Amino acid sequence: MAVYTDVAAEELADFLSRYEIGELLSYKGIAEGVENSNFLLHTTAGYFILTLYEKRVAKRDLPFFLGLMTHLASRGIVCPLPVKNRSGEVLSVLAGRPAAIIGFLEGIWPRKPNVAHCAGVGQALARMHLAGRDFTISRANALSVSGWRPLFDAAASRADELQHGLRQFIAAELDHLESGVWPVNLPDGVIHADLFPDNVFFLGERLSGIIDFTFACNDMLAYDVAICLNAWCFESDYSFNVTKARAFLNAYGRERKMSQAEESALPLLARGAALRFLLTRLVDFLNVPPGALVRPKDPLEYVRKLRFQQGVGSMRDYGVTASGLVA
């Protein structure tokens, strides 16, 4: 989440008149994340989130994102529900951008995830994967292996500005993952693809909602698991926490057991997931638009995580046995 496009109060009031969500009392920008412009709305009917989808998000993909949230909510997954306007539509236009209003979820995201948080997100991720099985719209993952080379090409010339040797480090890993080793024929379906702590709300240690489906797509379910391993199971010094990983993987497995092929592929998928976020963070870090109210995330965090994943040999390095039970 971030603010790239500002919205005047008069323009916003006119926009909100097309909805039945009360009168606007206040609004403020949310300056986290890197993708879209987001605002917290306070109206006489309560709180809502207004999202303006920026140029990096293709308009053709918006029915997938908004439809998926509606579908998951109908299956018991706690996620924001898009609000229909008086014409029955969930997608409108504001300040020249496609825009949508979604319901507000109570809770806060964990700045320092603990073991209980990791177990909660593992359970929720598995339930989301199961709930998405009958979602009829599909969207290819534009940020899978085939999408990484263009990102590297866009940032390679300046990569060493962040860390000496970074360009060669990324190039070697990309060459390896493009060499035919990337897993195929694993169980697939709808994945969140960006389930970081700032996209999961908790009330205490109880998960209260999953947000931000901007990267959701169809891909290998185990790839979503790998993304979460990187996002949730490292400490602030980038050391890997086996206890957190065990809690996450066992909670996931109690809801949806991964196949042997998925478990065998998980270390390689985690390497790919680390490279994907290293590349997108690098591109974003080098290309923050002037005046944007946004804090770019540190690409070097994922250099450290990728180095760890390069040394993983099996599920035992994540604290579990091949059967998915406690080691």
Query: Among candidates 220, 246, 33, 251, which has minimal Cα distance to 125?
Result: 251
pLDDT tens, 275-300?
Answer: 999 999 999 899 876 665 566 789 99
Whether domain 9-103 has CATH 3.30.200.20: the reply is: yes
Share of the chain above pLDDT 70, in %: 93
Q: Are 118 and 64 in contact (CB under 8 A)?
A: no
Cα(295)–Cα(281) distance, rounded to whole angstroms?
11
Q: What's the pLDDT score for residue 288? A: 74
pLDDT tens, 201-241?
Answer: 999 999 999 999 999 999 999 999 999 999 999 999 999 99
Element (H, E) at 100: strand 97-103
Write down the pTM of the prediction: 0.91
Residue 5 pLDDT > 80: no
**What's the CATH number of domain 115-318, 3.40.50.280, 3.60.15.10, 3.90.1200.10, 3.90.1150.10?**
3.90.1200.10
pLDDT tens, 138-193?
Answer: 999 999 999 999 999 999 999 999 999 999 999 999 999 999 999 999 999 999 99
Q: What is the DSSP string of 175-234?
A: HHIIIIIS--S--EEEE-S---GGGEEEETTEEEEE---TT-EEEEHHHHHHHHHHHHSB
Q: Are 17 and 6 in contact (CB under 8 A)?
A: no
Q: What's the pLDDT score for residue 86? A: 95
pLDDT tens, 257-271?
Answer: 999 999 999 999 999
Strand order across the beta sheet in which 97-103 lies: 24-29, 37-43, 46-52, 97-103, 92-94
User: Domain spans of the chain?
Assistant: 9-103, 115-318
Cα(297)–Cα(219) distance, rounded to whole angstroms?
25
Q: What's the pLDDT score for residue 1? A: 41
Q: Tokens in use for 89?
A: 């539509």
Neighbours of 150 (CB within 10 A): 12
Q: How confident is the model at residue 323 (pLDDT cuts 50, 70, 90)?
A: low
